[in-house]
Amino acid sequence: MFVIIKERSDYIQKFVGMKLLSAGLIHENTSQLFLDKEWECATEDGYVLIKYSSGILSMAYSECEHDLRSKLQSIATANEFMISKLSFSQIKDFMSFKIDEDDYFE
């Protein structure tokens, strides 16, 4: 589904297997040619922003919600464009996030 951007392999490691307390869809735009979605997640000590736009998956971590957007970094590209469907579950599986099914919203 995704191919890790080689230059970001060290950055991505801080997210792999991360325990998330909650995750929710905060933005979705399906009117463009490519799908655009964002999820905000809470951890025990901060926040994670996940953004998928035009085949690029980006993530950021911060102790403060206000800093998330400025810390976004592209980490992977889609090996097949998901024009109309991409779920948090797919990203969760790709990143091996630990989160209860009741604690996230597609």
State pLDDT tens for residues 12-49.
999 999 999 999 999 998 776 678 899 999 999 999 99
Task: Quote the pLDDT of residue 32.
Answer: 60
As a whole number of angstroms, the distance between CA 7 and CA 48 comes to 20
106 or 67: whose pLDDT is higher? 67
CA atoms lying within 13 Å on the CB side of residue 20: 32
Contact 77, 1 (CB under 8 A): no
Residue 24's H or E segment, with its range, is: strand 22-29
The pLDDT of 93-103, averaged and rounded, is 95
Task: Quote the pLDDT of residue 58.
Answer: 96
Segment 44-68, tens digit of pLDDT: 999 999 999 988 999 999 999 999 9
How many H helices and E strands in the chain?
A: 2, 7
What mean pLDDT, rounded, does the chain reach? 90
Please say if the pLDDT value at position 83 is more than 60. Answer: no
Task: Quote the pLDDT of residue 11.
Answer: 93
- Look at the pTM and tell me if it is higher than 0.85: yes
- For the chain, the domains span 2-94
